[in-house]
């Protein structure tokens, strides 16, 4: 026998009383906290399932079967009750709602619009929760957590499809996102970019029958990670930076922290990534911005894109990459174990920080000229000299420090690590380009602290697309958003 809502209510009251008795009754006096917690969780999930059933049942029972007048003034007569599956966080529900159809066109279920149901059977809360697990770890592991915690077995294809679908809204979300209040921003606007490889599945590659010498089994495509933030000036001397680089002084107790850091990563190439970065930078502009700076490593193609897309931003070569070339030169001169190598590198680093790079270049070239031209040491010295000469316009570190600019790409290096590498290079991970692009977009939204706000806008836009009307927010949802600061 099928119950109606009136019959369900007494049963739910009885179940609630039983739950209350379970917590306060004789068995509770000997139960451990763990036993009680586990039992309560399962019982409350079941009760939630029943209450959700009651909610839908009441909505179905109050539907009218009078002819439906649509927004275009066409009229559809009642046709039948049409079934619907809904996979909620409490479990799978089945219900029937009124279906209106006149023949020769599309029908309509008004309750779908009233409930703002998605096109597929999975609830927004369920899929957003599963996606969040997938953003942080392997899809399969996330689904195992859901299965163990909620007793729900979802196919991995459902999660992959959800990630692909929802990621399509990321661009629109950031396009409409309001600027941060100028009172919360620093006076220096900083843009950074770097690349990190993502391992691809074999079908994305031109697979050779037999690999040649130097060919790697796993091939990668470069994801370009970008970051934009503001910061206050941090004045330092070359000697202070030198001591910090070589850990000879305790780091200062306080130094400016980035304000409202926004990060992103994409496999669509350098030009696309830096154009997106430029659009994000433009939205951060304002009267509060007094200085601008862009930082990269020494990758020339990336530098060219930064210069082209951010013409008002002086380009700075990351000091850490510059010092790495000094270590290579120091090894060429002294070898790996000679203690003189460290002192030599420190001396040349101080010259770089003091904007005396041309003297360093001359020293390297003179030393290389004194060695056999084809020796490895000479090649290493010429390589370092060439690197510094090509990047000379971006190495006026004394001036950068005087202005209080950042001279290291620590922000973007960290972004490459935790946004790209930590997720995309988990053990055994291989990606399609489309799959990696979609996941990186959602992962960036989460890292930027925009997860809830993004999905709220996504649901609103979906409702408009599916039903051609703005989504109405009822007082209950409005109160919940105010409590969680989602407005």
What size, in residues, is the chain? 487
Cα–Cα separations (whole angstroms), residue 82 to 100, 117, 205? 9, 14, 46
Contact (CB, 8 A) for 435 and 254: no
What pLDDT was estimated at residue 49? 97
| Percentage of residues in the chain having pLDDT higher than 70 | 92
- Asked if 195 and 220 sit in the same domain, the reply is yes
133 inside domain: no
Let me know whether 245 and 313 are in one domain: yes
Residue 359 shares a structural domain with residue 400: yes
Residue 281 counted as domain residue: yes
257 and 325, same domain (yes or no)? no
**The pLDDT value given to residue 228:** 98
Which whole number is the average pLDDT over 264-285? 96
Let me know if residue 45 belongs to a domain: yes
- Is 80 part of a structural domain of the chain? no
| Predicted local confidence at residue 274, as pLDDT | 97
Residue with tokens 């020339």: 300
Asked whether residue 467 is domain-assigned, the answer is yes
- Give the mean pLDDT of the chain: 91
Q: State whether 436 and 468 are in the same domain.
A: no
Question: Which of 47, 62, 77 marks a domain boundary?
Answer: 62
pLDDT at residue 5, rounded to an integer? 87
Instruction: Specify the pLDDT at position 415.
Output: 95
Cα distance between residue 153 and residue 147, in whole Å: 5
- pLDDT tier at 148, thresholds 50, 70, 90: very high
Q: Which domain holds residue 376?
A: 319-407
Whether residue 384 is found in the same domain as residue 265: no
What pLDDT, on the 0 to 100 scale, is given for residue 155? 96
| 305 in the same domain as 236 | yes
DSSP 431: B
Task: Give yes or no: residues 313 and 419 share one domain.
Answer: yes
477 pLDDT above the threshold of 60: no
> Per-residue pLDDT for 205 more than 70?
no
Average the pLDDT over 86-99 and give the result. Answer: 96
End-to-end C-alpha distance for the chain, whole angstroms = 45
What's residue 478's pLDDT?
46
Domain count, the chain: 4
Give me the helix-helix angle, 270-283 and 300-309, nearest 10°.
Answer: 40
Tell me the pLDDT tens digit for each residue of 419-451. 999 999 998 899 999 999 999 999 999 999 999
Q: How far apart are CA 209 and CA 197, in angstroms?
A: 23
Confidence of residue 158 (pLDDT cuts 50, 70, 90): very high
Same domain, 246 and 304: yes
DSSP secondary structure letters along 396-431: -HHHHHHHT-----HHHHHHIIIIIIHHHTSTT--B
Residue 215 has pLDDT above 60, yes or no: no
Closest CA to 87 of 139, 60, 135, 122: 122
Structure tokens at 366: 């003179």
Give percent of the chain above pLDDT 90.
85
Q: How far apart are CA 401 and CA 473, in angstroms?
A: 51
Once rounded to an integer, what is the mean pLDDT over residues 320-336? Answer: 96
Structure confidence by residue, pLDDT tens digits, 230-250? 999 999 999 999 999 998 666
- Residue 140 located in a structural domain: no
Domain termination site, one of 374, 407, 440: 407
Q: Under DSSP, is residue 33 helix (H, G, I), strand (E, B) or coil?
A: helix
Q: 167, 198, 186, 196: which is closest to 261 by C-alpha?
A: 186
Considering only CA atoms, which of 318, 324, 323 is closest in space to residue 408? 318
| Span of 241-255, 336-350, 449-463 with lowest mean pLDDT | 241-255
Distance CA 347, CA 363 (A): 12
357 Cβ partners below 8 Å, 6+ apart? 351, 388, 392, 395
Same structural domain, 482 and 370: no
Is the confidence at residue 487, as pLDDT, over 60?
no
Domain-located, residue 420 = yes
**SS3 call for 404:** coil
Q: Among 39, 62, 85, where does a domain finish?
A: 62
Asked if residue 486 has pLDDT above 70, the reply is no
Do 190 and 222 belong to one domain?
yes
Tokens of residue 144, six digits? 């195992």
Residues 310 and 339 in one domain: no
Predicted pLDDT at 1: 43
Within-domain flag for 164? no
Determine which of 200-204, 440-444, 469-473 has the lowest per-residue pLDDT on average: 469-473
């Amino acid at each position: 026998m099928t119950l109606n809502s009136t019959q369900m209510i007494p049963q739910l009251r009885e179940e609630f009383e039983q739950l209350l008795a379970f917590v306060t009754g004789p068995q509770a006096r000997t139960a451990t906290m763990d036993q009680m917690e586990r039992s309560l969780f399962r019982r409350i999930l079941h009760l939630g399932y029943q209450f959700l059933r009651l909610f839908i049942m009441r909505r179905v029972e109050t539907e009218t079967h009078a002819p439906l007048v649509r927004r275009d003034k066409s009229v559809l007569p009642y046709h039948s009750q049409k079934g619907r599956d809904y996979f909620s966080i409490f479990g799978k529900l089945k219900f029937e709602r009124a279906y209106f159809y006149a023949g020769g066109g599309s029908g309509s279920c008004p309750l779908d619009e009233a409930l703002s149901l998605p096109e597929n059977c999975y609830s927004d809360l369920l899929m957003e929760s599963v996606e969040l697990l997938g953003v942080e770890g392997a899809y399969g592991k996330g689904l195992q957590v859901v299965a163990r915690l909620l007793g729900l077995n979802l196919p991995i294809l459902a999660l992959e499809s959800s990630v692909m679908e929802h990621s399509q809204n990321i661009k629109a979300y950031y396009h409409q996102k309001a600027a941060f209040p100028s009172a919360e921003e620093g006076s220096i606007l900083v843009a950074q970019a770097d690349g990190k490889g993502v391992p691809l599945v074999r079908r994305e590659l031109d697979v050779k029958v037999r690999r040649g010498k130097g060919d790697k089994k796993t091939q990668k495509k470069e994801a370009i990670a970008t970051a934009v933030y503001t910061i206050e000036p941090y004045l330092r001397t070359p000697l202070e930076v030198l001591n910090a680089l070589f850990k000879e002084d305790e780091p200062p107790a306080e130094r400016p922290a980035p304000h409202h850091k926004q990060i992103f990563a994409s496999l669509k190439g350098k030009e696309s990534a830096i154009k997106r970065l430029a659009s994000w930078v433009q939205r951060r502009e304002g009267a509060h911005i007094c200085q601008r700076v862009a930082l990269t490593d020494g990758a020339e193609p990336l530098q060219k894109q930064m210069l082209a897309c951010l013409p008002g931003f002086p380009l700075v070569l990351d000091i850490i990459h510059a010092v790495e070339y000094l270590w290579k030169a120091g090894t060429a001169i002294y070898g790996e174990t000679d203690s003189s190598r460290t002192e030599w590198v420190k001396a040349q680093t101080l010259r770089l920080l003091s904007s005396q790079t041309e003297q360093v270049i001359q020293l390297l070239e003179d030393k290389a000229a004194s060695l056999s031209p084809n020796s490895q040491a000479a090649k290493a010295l010429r390589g370092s000299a060439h690197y510094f000469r090509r990047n000379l316009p971006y190495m006026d570190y004394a001036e950068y420090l005087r202005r209080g600019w950042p001279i290291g790409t620590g922000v973007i290096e960290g972004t490459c690590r935790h946004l790209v590498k930590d997720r995309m290079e988990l053990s055994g991970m291989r990606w399609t380009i489309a799959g990696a692009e979609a996941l990186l977009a959602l992962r960036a939204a989460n890292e930027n602290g925009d997860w809830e706000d993004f999905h709220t806008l996504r649901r609103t836009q979906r409702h408009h697309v599916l039903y051609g009307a703005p989504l109405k927010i009822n007082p209950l949802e409005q109160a919940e958003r105010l409590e969680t600061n989602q407005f």
